Amino acid sequence: MPGERWARIWQVIDQLVTAVREQQISCAGCQQTFARKDMKPLTDLPQYNTWLGLLQWFCSDCQAKQRALHLYQGVYQRENRVVAAQVRRAVLKGNPATLTLDQWLATLDHYQGRCAYCLNAPYEALEHFVPVEYGGGTTAANCVPACKACNSAKGVRLPHEIQESSRSPAAIARVSQYLMSQQPARPLDGMPTDGMPI
Ligand SMILES: [Zn+2]
Ligand SMILES: [Zn+2]
Protein backbone atom coordinates (compact mmCIF):
# COMPACT_ATOMS: atom_id res chain seq x y z
CA MET A 1 0.00 0.00 0.00
CA PRO A 2 1.50 3.37 -1.04
CA GLY A 3 -0.11 5.08 2.01
CA GLU A 4 1.70 2.76 4.38
CA ARG A 5 5.00 3.31 2.61
CA TRP A 6 4.71 7.11 3.03
CA ALA A 7 3.80 6.65 6.67
CA ARG A 8 7.03 4.64 7.12
CA ILE A 9 9.09 7.28 5.31
CA TRP A 10 7.67 10.06 7.48
CA GLN A 11 8.34 8.02 10.56
CA VAL A 12 12.00 7.62 9.59
CA ILE A 13 12.33 11.35 8.83
CA ASP A 14 10.71 12.16 12.18
CA GLN A 15 13.15 9.84 13.98
CA LEU A 16 16.09 11.47 12.22
CA VAL A 17 14.93 14.98 13.12
CA THR A 18 14.43 13.94 16.75
CA ALA A 19 17.87 12.32 16.83
CA VAL A 20 19.48 15.51 15.51
CA ARG A 21 17.56 17.67 18.00
CA GLU A 22 18.53 15.42 20.90
CA GLN A 23 22.15 15.10 19.76
CA GLN A 24 24.56 16.20 22.48
CA ILE A 25 26.99 18.82 21.20
CA SER A 26 29.43 21.03 23.00
CA CYS A 27 28.78 24.75 23.49
CA ALA A 28 31.22 27.05 21.68
CA GLY A 29 31.25 29.27 24.78
CA CYS A 30 31.51 27.10 27.91
CA GLN A 31 32.42 23.80 26.18
CA GLN A 32 29.76 21.90 28.17
CA THR A 33 27.50 19.50 26.25
CA PHE A 34 23.81 20.16 25.71
CA ALA A 35 21.09 18.81 23.42
CA ARG A 36 21.19 20.63 20.08
CA LYS A 37 17.53 21.65 20.47
CA ASP A 38 18.53 23.87 23.45
CA MET A 39 21.30 25.63 21.51
CA LYS A 40 21.69 28.14 18.70
CA PRO A 41 24.35 29.64 16.45
CA LEU A 42 24.63 33.43 16.84
CA THR A 43 24.83 34.44 13.18
CA ASP A 44 22.87 37.63 13.92
CA LEU A 45 25.96 38.98 15.75
CA PRO A 46 28.57 40.36 13.32
CA GLN A 47 31.48 38.31 14.72
CA TYR A 48 29.58 35.05 14.07
CA ASN A 49 27.99 36.04 10.78
CA THR A 50 30.26 33.71 8.80
CA TRP A 51 30.27 30.09 7.60
CA LEU A 52 32.27 29.24 10.71
CA GLY A 53 29.63 31.01 12.80
CA LEU A 54 27.02 28.52 11.53
CA LEU A 55 29.04 25.73 13.16
CA GLN A 56 29.41 27.47 16.54
CA TRP A 57 26.42 26.65 18.71
CA PHE A 58 25.85 28.27 22.09
CA CYS A 59 23.86 27.16 25.16
CA SER A 60 21.21 29.62 26.38
CA ASP A 61 23.50 31.04 29.11
CA CYS A 62 26.30 31.66 26.63
CA GLN A 63 23.87 33.16 24.10
CA ALA A 64 22.86 35.75 26.72
CA LYS A 65 26.51 36.39 27.65
CA GLN A 66 27.57 36.85 24.02
CA ARG A 67 24.70 39.27 23.40
CA ALA A 68 25.53 41.27 26.55
CA LEU A 69 29.20 41.41 25.50
CA HIS A 70 28.24 42.60 22.02
CA LEU A 71 26.07 45.34 23.52
CA TYR A 72 28.85 46.35 25.92
CA GLN A 73 31.45 46.48 23.13
CA GLY A 74 29.09 48.65 21.07
CA VAL A 75 28.69 51.12 23.95
CA TYR A 76 32.43 51.02 24.64
CA GLN A 77 33.35 51.85 21.03
CA ARG A 78 30.70 54.56 20.71
CA GLU A 79 31.70 56.30 23.98
CA ASN A 80 35.36 56.01 23.04
CA ARG A 81 34.59 58.07 19.90
CA VAL A 82 32.57 60.60 21.94
CA VAL A 83 35.42 61.11 24.44
CA ALA A 84 38.08 61.33 21.71
CA ALA A 85 36.08 63.97 19.79
CA GLN A 86 35.48 66.07 22.93
CA VAL A 87 39.10 65.78 24.07
CA ARG A 88 40.18 66.99 20.61
CA ARG A 89 37.71 69.87 20.79
CA ALA A 90 39.13 71.04 24.15
CA VAL A 91 42.74 70.62 22.96
CA LEU A 92 42.03 72.85 19.94
CA LYS A 93 40.74 75.54 22.31
CA GLY A 94 43.75 75.12 24.60
CA ASN A 95 41.47 73.97 27.45
CA PRO A 96 42.15 71.12 29.89
CA ALA A 97 41.51 67.81 28.17
CA THR A 98 42.15 64.89 30.49
CA LEU A 99 38.87 62.94 30.39
CA THR A 100 39.55 59.22 30.01
CA LEU A 101 37.11 56.63 28.71
CA ASP A 102 37.07 54.92 32.13
CA GLN A 103 36.16 58.18 33.87
CA TRP A 104 33.41 58.88 31.36
CA LEU A 105 31.95 55.37 31.65
CA ALA A 106 31.99 55.77 35.46
CA THR A 107 30.04 59.05 35.12
CA LEU A 108 27.53 57.42 32.73
CA ASP A 109 27.20 54.59 35.22
CA HIS A 110 26.66 57.06 38.08
CA TYR A 111 23.71 58.57 36.17
CA GLN A 112 22.56 55.14 34.95
CA GLY A 113 22.80 56.28 31.34
CA ARG A 114 20.36 59.16 31.95
CA CYS A 115 20.56 62.93 31.73
CA ALA A 116 22.38 64.41 34.75
CA TYR A 117 19.95 67.36 34.90
CA CYS A 118 16.45 65.92 34.52
CA LEU A 119 17.55 62.40 35.65
CA ASN A 120 14.79 61.16 33.37
CA ALA A 121 15.52 61.30 29.64
CA PRO A 122 18.21 58.97 28.25
CA TYR A 123 21.68 60.43 27.76
CA GLU A 124 22.17 61.91 24.28
CA ALA A 125 25.15 64.27 24.54
CA LEU A 126 28.31 64.80 26.54
CA GLU A 127 27.74 68.15 28.19
CA HIS A 128 30.40 70.56 29.44
CA PHE A 129 29.15 72.10 32.70
CA VAL A 130 31.34 75.13 31.99
CA PRO A 131 31.15 75.47 28.17
CA VAL A 132 34.29 74.86 26.12
CA GLU A 133 33.75 78.39 24.75
CA TYR A 134 34.25 79.70 28.32
CA GLY A 135 37.43 77.73 28.91
CA GLY A 136 35.68 74.64 30.28
CA GLY A 137 37.75 71.49 29.91
CA THR A 138 36.89 68.03 28.70
CA THR A 139 37.64 66.60 32.14
CA ALA A 140 35.94 64.29 34.62
CA ALA A 141 35.18 67.36 36.75
CA ASN A 142 33.37 69.20 33.94
CA CYS A 143 31.53 66.61 31.82
CA VAL A 144 28.15 65.04 32.45
CA PRO A 145 25.63 63.21 30.26
CA ALA A 146 22.65 65.31 29.14
CA CYS A 147 19.54 64.80 27.07
CA LYS A 148 19.10 66.98 23.95
CA ALA A 149 16.45 69.13 25.63
CA CYS A 150 18.54 69.92 28.71
CA ASN A 151 21.70 70.34 26.65
CA SER A 152 20.14 72.90 24.30
CA ALA A 153 18.24 74.62 27.14
CA LYS A 154 21.63 75.50 28.53
CA GLY A 155 23.47 76.15 25.27
CA VAL A 156 26.61 78.23 25.47
CA ARG A 157 25.99 79.76 28.86
CA LEU A 158 27.63 79.60 32.24
CA PRO A 159 25.84 77.58 34.96
CA HIS A 160 24.81 80.71 36.93
CA GLU A 161 23.22 82.25 33.80
CA ILE A 162 20.61 79.52 33.51
CA GLN A 163 19.23 79.41 37.03
CA GLU A 164 15.76 80.41 35.84
CA SER A 165 15.67 78.22 32.76
CA SER A 166 14.12 74.77 32.37
CA ARG A 167 16.87 73.39 34.53
CA SER A 168 16.18 74.10 38.16
CA PRO A 169 18.79 75.55 40.52
CA ALA A 170 18.49 72.32 42.49
CA ALA A 171 19.52 70.28 39.46
CA ILE A 172 22.46 72.60 38.77
CA ALA A 173 23.54 72.35 42.43
CA ARG A 174 23.28 68.56 42.33
CA VAL A 175 25.36 68.27 39.13
CA SER A 176 27.86 70.77 40.48
CA GLN A 177 28.24 68.70 43.64
CA TYR A 178 28.86 65.55 41.62
CA LEU A 179 31.48 67.30 39.50
CA MET A 180 33.23 68.65 42.61
CA SER A 181 33.56 65.07 43.79
CA GLN A 182 35.37 64.27 40.53
CA GLN A 183 38.15 66.78 41.19
CA PRO A 184 41.46 65.07 41.94
CA ALA A 185 41.73 64.95 45.75
CA ARG A 186 45.35 66.08 45.95
CA PRO A 187 46.60 67.87 42.84
CA LEU A 188 50.21 67.25 41.91
CA ASP A 189 52.58 70.12 42.60
CA GLY A 190 52.17 72.85 40.05
CA MET A 191 49.21 71.13 38.38
CA PRO A 192 45.88 72.94 38.18
CA THR A 193 43.12 70.85 39.81
CA ASP A 194 41.39 70.49 36.47
CA GLY A 195 44.40 68.80 34.87
CA MET A 196 46.74 70.07 32.17
CA PRO A 197 45.93 70.36 28.50
CA ILE A 198 47.37 67.43 26.57
ZN1 LIG B 1 27.63 27.53 27.04
ZN1 LIG C 1 17.53 66.13 30.54
CB-based contacts of 90, cutoff 8 Å, min separation 6: 96, 97, 132, 136, 137, 138, 197
Are 158 and 134 in contact by the 8 Å Cβ rule? The answer is yes
Q: State which residues have CB under 5 angstroms from ligand 1, the bound ion.
A: 27, 29-30, 59, 62
Distances in Å between the alpha carbon of 173 and those of 27, 140, 169, 197? Answer: 51, 17, 6, 26
Q: Which pLDDT value is given to residue 149? A: 86
Q: How much distance in Å is there from the Cα of 1 to the middle of ligand 2? A: 75
Question: Domain limits of the chain?
Answer: 97-181
Report the pLDDT value the prediction gives residue 163, as an integer from 0 to 100: 46
pLDDT score, position 184 = 73
Kindly give, in sequence order, each residue whose CB lies less than 8 Å from that of residue 177, ignoring residues fewer than 6 positions away: none
pLDDT in tens, the chain (198 residues): 678 899 999 999 999 999 999 999 999 999 999 999 999 999 999 889 999 999 999 999 999 999 999 988 999 999 999 999 999 999 999 999 999 999 999 999 999 999 998 888 899 999 999 999 999 999 999 999 999 988 887 656 665 555 444 467 888 889 999 999 998 765 544 445 454 444
Q: From ligand 2's centre to the CA of 28, what distance in Å?
A: 42
Ligand that lies nearest to the alpha carbon of residue 64, given by its number in the listed order: 1
Determine the distance separating the centroid of ligand 2 and the alpha carbon of 112, expressed in angstroms.
Answer: 13
Distance 77 CA to ligand 1 centre (A): 26
Residues 6+ apart with CB under 8 A from 116: 127, 144, 145, 146, 175, 178
Cβ neighbors of 111 (< 8 A, separation 6 or more) are 119, 123, 144, 145
Output the pLDDT for position 196: 45
Asked if residue 57 lies in contact with residue 37, where contact means CB atoms within 8 angstroms, the answer is no
Ligand lying closest to the C-alpha of residue 144: 2
Q: Which helix (H) or strand (E) holds 41?
A: strand 40-41
The predicted pLDDT at position 189 comes to 46
Q: Residue 136 in contact with residue 99, Cβ under 8 Å?
A: no
CA 24 to ligand 1 centroid distance, Å: 13
Which ligand approaches the C-alpha of residue 25 most closely? 1
Distances (CA, A) of 32 to 25, 35, 69: 8, 10, 20
Q: Which ligand is nearest to the CA of 65?
A: 1
Pairing of strands 143-146, 125-128: antiparallel
- For every residue of 58-79, DSSP letters joined together read E-HHHHHHHHHHHHHHHHHHHH
Ligand closest in space to the Cα of 150: 2
Assess contact for 91 and 198: CB atoms under 8 A: yes
CA–CA separation, 171 and 179 (whole Å): 12
pLDDT of residue 3: 82
